[in-house]
Structure 1
Amino acid sequence: MKALVLAGGAGTRLRPITHTSAKQLVPIANKPVLFYGLEAIADAGIKEVGIIVGETAAEIEQAVGDGADFGLDVTYLPQPQPLGLAHAVLIARDFLGDDDFLMYLGDNFILGGISALLDEFRTHRPDVQLMLTRVSDPSSYGVASLSEEGRVTGLEEKPARPRSDLAVVGVYLFSPVVHEAVRAIAPSDRGELEITDALQWLLDQGRDIRPTVITGYWKDTGNVADMLEANRCVLEVLEPGIEGFVSADSELVGRVRVCEGAEVHGSRIVGPALIGAGSAIVDSYVGPSTAIAENCRIEDSEIEFSIVLNDSAITGIRRIGASLIGCHVVVAPAPRVPAAHRFVLGDHSKVQISS
């Protein structure tokens, strides 16, 4: 089995962060979200991986390399324009050959990996295996309808009136029959080749699409709120430890990791929290569900439930919460504007001013 990882999207919902960085490389607990997917693929025993790349191809290739660090053999597959998930399958045809394959959206985060899903696929041998999960706003996702017996009866992409609350998670298992389906469909009203249309085509042909409804943790990390929630989830199982320096007048509470080269002076850190290598926390409070990346400085400030990317500085700020702060950012108080009263007073005036 091979894997096809999609890492070509523009990440418009994470702008302005993604104006300068690929959305798949925005970190969760100081590790790019894409890396979690690649590690899950390797843990599932898949070695050959094709990565669909677009305008951020250079960044993705620099971060992942040839895949050896993950135990993978990576091939890069350019997609000049993001024309849909089914289009990605089309352009990967030569790489995929006639093998079964896993398709994994590179900005999806699944706690617990995908090995159980692959085992189920290999056992039952359907034409397609889908992961579904219940969501509060299904109109933002591909949506599946199931019969009373639990069989897939229909699929829609971002429907205005969803027929169910079961969203299609961004992990798919396909037999080679899907290649016929992606060639058979036409672009949607969005101008894209939708994978849901290809799946519906397979249903109409009587093909076996097997659903697995998951109740574990899954996030499409396409927006800031989901990034912060995924970060919180990973930090909840953080292995605490002190590899850097923590002064005697500092206090660490709960799951806190201070990485090598990091320093904490006169500060209180309440976990789960992660302080990246080379960062300094001085006279500050770092609260739960916060990840500070490498070479940052937090001084005389308070921050919680946030992600701070590398080489950023926060000084003299009360308080920051639920924030995603990019690389090389400086957050500091505005300079004081000199206070002045300006008068044009006539004769015999009397002016009283509060000090």
Structure 2
Amino acid sequence: MKAVILVGGQGTRLRPLTTKIPKPMLPMANIPFFEHTLRLLKKYGVEDIILSSGYLGEHFKNYFKDGKHLGVNLTHVIEEKPLGTCGAVKNVEELLGDETTVVLNGDILSNINLNQLLDFHKEKKAKVTLTLYTVEDPTAYGLVSLNGDSRVQKFLEKPSFDEITTHWINAGIYLLEPEVLKYAPAGENYSFERGLFPTLLKKNEPISGFPFNGYWKDIGSPVHYLKAHHDILEGRVNFDFVGKEIKPGVFAGKNCKISDKATVFGPTIIGDNCTIDDHAMVFSNTTIGNNCHIASSAKIYDSIFFDDVKIGKNCVIKGSILGRNVKLSDEVHTDNLAVLGDQVQVGQKNFLARGIKVSSKAVIENEQIRF
């Protein structure tokens, strides 16, 4: 079995974090999110992997290279223009041969058992098998209607509540036989959801739906990105934490200096070369990147820090995401999904909350914002 991972999107909902780095390269528990996907495929013996990228695609190639260090064979294909979900797979059709291929959206965190998915695909003698999942609000996703034999009957893309007739959404993980790509036009922007799948239904090609009840999360928005970190830290999805467990639920990297007078509650991950000063407090569900400094009496709750973040004295950081090289002066408060892009500098006694997004390299002078 081969794999194609689709990572061509621009990650607009996660801006400003994605202005200089593609969404699947954002850190997830201190390693690039995309590495989780590669490790999942490797776990189930899928080693020939094609990465279809576009936006900032060179980041993947520069970091992962040929994938050998992870035990996989990674082929990079960078689209010259956006080709859509199906168009991206059509673009690499010659690399697939006639092998059953798993296709994954690059912003999905899941613990799906690919062996079970493949067995189901074979049992149903399907040309395409879609992984299906249930979510609380399905209106942001494509819905899939099945018959009693798990055969797909209908697709409904991002319906209103009045149009909802099923609870199954398209989870963005597919198995397909490459022969179905004959129905897809070459070199065009063409989607699975609105293009190939409806075409296959019209042609009466067998499409099956695999109901999945394990872990699944779309990380494409700040709230979901933060929630995915919580789920990893709380053990809802299997994950090998980086670093050494220095106390129950607290994992720290190399060369960390944590004051005896500081308090750290698990589950928490702390990267390499971090310093936590006297009387600072780090509460549960926090991920701290490499080379970060938390000054005395600062309090950190339920937040994500990228690398090289500096937090001043008496700061209070709650439910926030701070990009690379963010520097906060003393007595800064952030709360309620505040998102700060790379290299943001915030002066003393500013209060950033209510989902505020601060663009990369912005400078906020002392006592300017109470949002």
What TM-score comes out, normalization by structure 2 length?
0.81
**Equivalent position of 2:120 in the other structure:** 120
- Other-structure match for 1:91: 91
What is aligned with 1:325? 322
Aligned to 2:51: 51
Structure 1 residues 121-200: aligned runs within 5 Å: 121-160=121-160, 161-183=163-185, 192-196=189-193, 197-200=195-198
What is the aligned partner in structure 1 of residue 334 from structure 2?
A: none
- Closer/same/farther in 2, CA of residues 93 and 124 from structure 1, 3 Å limit: same
Q: Name the CA distance, whole Å, in 2 between partners of 1:338 and 1:263.
A: 29
SS at match of 2:6: strand
Partner of 2:206: 208
Separation (CA, whole Å) in 2 of partners of 1:50 and 1:126: 22
Deviation, structure 1 residue 43: 1.1
Whether 2:304 is the aligned partner of 1:307: answer yes
Identify the residue that residue 33 of structure 1 maps to in structure 2.
33
CA–CA separation in structure 1 for the residues paired with 2:310 and 2:30: 16
* Counterpart residue number, 2:232: 234
Give 1:113 shift.
4.8
Contact in 2 for aligned 1:312/1:329 (Cα 8 Å): yes
Contact 2:30/2:242 (8 A) holds in 1: no
Q: Structure 1 residues 239 and 203, CA, compared in 2 at 3 Å: closer, same or farther?
A: closer
Report the Cα offset of residue 292 of structure 1.
0.5
1:260 aligns with 2:254: yes
> Per-residue deviation at 1:139?
2.1
Contact 1:261 1:279 in 2 (8 A): yes
Which secondary structure does the structure 2 equivalent of 1:210 belong to? strand
Aligned to 2:272: 277
CA distance in 2, matches of 1:242, 1:219: 24
Q: Give the conservation status (yes or no) of the 8 Å contact 2:40–2:111.
A: no
Q: Which amino acid aligns with 1:97?
A: G
Q: Is the 8 A contact 1:101 1:173 kept in 2?
A: yes
Q: CA 1:159 to 1:116, structure 2 compared with 1: closer, same or farther past 3 Å?
A: same
Structure number with greater Rg is: 1
Compute the displacement of 1:118 (Å).
2.7
* 1:72-91 matched pairs, under 5 angstroms: 72-91=72-91
Q: How far does residue 32 in structure 1 lie from its aligned partner after superposition? A: 1.4
Q: Alpha-carbon deviations, 1:112-141, whole Å to 9, x = none?
A: 553332343344442111111111222211
Amino acid at match of 1:304: Y
The answer to whether the 8 A contact 1:54-1:81 is kept is yes
Report if the CA contact (8 A) 1:89-1:182 is conserved.
no
Q: Is the Cα contact below 8 Å between 1:277 and 1:295 reproduced in 2?
A: yes
Residues 138 and 230 of structure 1, relative CA distance in 2, 3 Å threshold: same
Structure 1 residue identity aligned to 2:9: G
Q: Which runs of 5+ in 2 are unaligned?
A: 331-346, 350-364
| Distance apart, 1:87 and its partner CA | 1.1
CA distance 1:178–1:241, change in 2 (3 Å): closer
Cα deviation for residue 178 of structure 1 reads: 2.2
Using a 3 Å threshold, how does the CA distance of structure 1 residues 338 and 206 change in structure 2: closer, same or farther? Answer: closer
Which structure 1 residue ranges, 5 or more long, are not aligned?
Answer: 247-251, 340-355
Distance 1:219 1:338 in 2: 38
TM-score, L = length of structure 1: 0.85
Cα drift, residue 26 of structure 1: 0.8
> Match for residue 17 of structure 2?
17
Distance in structure 2 (CA, Å) of the matches to 1:206 and 1:90: 20
Provide the C-alpha distance between the structure 1 equivalents of 2:366 and 2:21, rounded to a whole number of angstroms. Answer: 39
CA root-mean-square deviation? 2.5
**Count of residues in correspondence between the two structures:** 327
Cα–Cα, structure 1 residues 335 and 240, in superposed 2: closer, same or farther, change >3 Å?
closer
Q: Report if aligned partners of 2:130, 2:175 keep a CA contact under 8 Å in 1.
A: yes
How far the C-alpha of 1:88 sits from its partner, in A, is: 0.7
CA contact (8 A) 1:284 1:299 kept: yes
